[in-house]
Structure 1
């Protein structure tokens, strides 16, 4: 019998959950036979960087490109984290082991992935960040539970990314490592602010390896 696995995918700003559902088509290995996926869509909200135009987003964006020192909408991030945590809580209440829960996201969804994992009170199977950042400042460090620091992170980032700069990815992974967290960083030369098959293939193998370790 295959494991009960839950994989939550958080899209980038201006995107939607259903537009990313093709990702799960890669997961054809037997261990993913009973995997449950969730591709939620963020509610529309006015975005400062876009002059107040409303688009699907997890929190506000004040500037692009996002650098290692960009100003963050921390209040909005924490509100979005509560939504993610409620989804995780529901899966655990339904009998899924925390070690079989993976939170993943691209761009703003990747940023929300890091925040959600850092603040969750249990150790999860892992988090996967595509072209993301850490959307919370160093003042959050005291609020990070010990169990959260044990959740491993995979971070994939294009070196030619002009939306979330490569330096923001490097700084984010370094920040997680300073907290004592495991963060595997993979750089992709010439890659911009997109996800490519090579990343998705590694993403699948990484989750498979972590499922074996938890088993």
Structure 2
């Protein structure tokens, strides 16, 4: 579970109750000074370095530690909100494999222009929920659509929801869709 800008690992863990994730082992890394990278996720990638590479490396450490315990990638679910959703999407696309599911609440792939040469592997029907509001102050609908298309091309089974007039938050309907993936 990956928190958004200005939030904490503890705050994103609060979402677990809503998702009915009591039977899951939960991992929630904490970003330095509560931000994963300094600029907008739509900025040129160099503007977010070296923080972006560091954040991606931290997620990789968490995923690898789970895999090293003998847990299949099909039993790993990743969730993030806002900046955390962007980081989750970027990590998953760069390390695609059959995950249990990806919950990308108001986020998309990172960069002013997306460098698809960075995206490796196949999702093999991994269920992906990607959502946003229209408009959203931080995440344009066009990037959500572009992210969904790329993930579908990488073999993901994508459910995309765009909510007219929704504030920068997670709605109950999004929680319900996420619960279906976790079930």
Give the TM bin, normalised by the shorter chain: 0.7 to 0.9
Aligned to 2:12: 20
> How far apart are the structure 2 equivalents of 1:75 and 1:150?
32
Tell me if the contact between 1:118 and 1:149 (Cα under 8 Å) persists in the aligned partners: no
TM-score, length-normalised on structure 2? Answer: 0.85
In structure 2, do the counterparts of structure 1 residues 143 and 167 end up closer, same or farther at CA, with 3 Å as the change threshold?
closer
Aligned to 1:107: 82
In structure 2, do the counterparts of structure 1 residues 165 and 138 end up closer, same or farther at CA, with 3 Å as the change threshold?
closer
- For the pair 1:133 / 2:108, whether they are aligned, the reply is yes
In structure 2, do the counterparts of structure 1 residues 75 and 150 end up closer, same or farther at CA, with 3 Å as the change threshold?
farther
- For the pair 1:169 / 2:144, whether they are aligned, the reply is yes
Q: Please report how far the alpha carbon of residue 146 of structure 1 lies from its aligned counterpart in structure 2 after TM superposition.
A: 2.6
In structure 2, do the counterparts of structure 1 residues 153 and 37 end up closer, same or farther at CA, with 3 Å as the change threshold?
same
- For the pair 1:40 / 2:39, whether they are aligned, the reply is no
**1:145 aligned to 102, 120, 123, which one?**
120
Q: Please report how far the alpha carbon of residue 40 of structure 1 lies from its aligned counterpart in structure 2 after TM superposition.
A: 2.1
> How far apart are the structure 1 equivalents of 2:147 and 2:29?
24
Q: Please report how far the alpha carbon of residue 74 of structure 1 lies from its aligned counterpart in structure 2 after TM superposition.
A: 5.8
- Greater CA drift, 119-128 or 9-18: 119-128
Gaps of 5+ in 2: none
Query: Which protein has the larger Cα radius of gyration, Structure 1 or Structure 2?
Result: 1
Gaps of 5+ in 1: 1-8, 45-55, 209-215
Q: Please report how far the alpha carbon of residue 148 of structure 1 lies from its aligned counterpart in structure 2 after TM superposition.
A: 4.4
- RMSD value, Cα: 2.3
- For the pair 1:59 / 2:37, whether they are aligned, the reply is yes
TM-score, length-normalised on structure 1? Answer: 0.73
Q: Please report how far the alpha carbon of residue 180 of structure 1 lies from its aligned counterpart in structure 2 after TM superposition.
A: 4.4
In structure 2, do the counterparts of structure 1 residues 173 and 122 end up closer, same or farther at CA, with 3 Å as the change threshold?
closer
* SS in structure 2 of the partner of residue 199 of structure 1: helix
> How far apart are the structure 1 equivalents of 2:175 and 2:49?
29
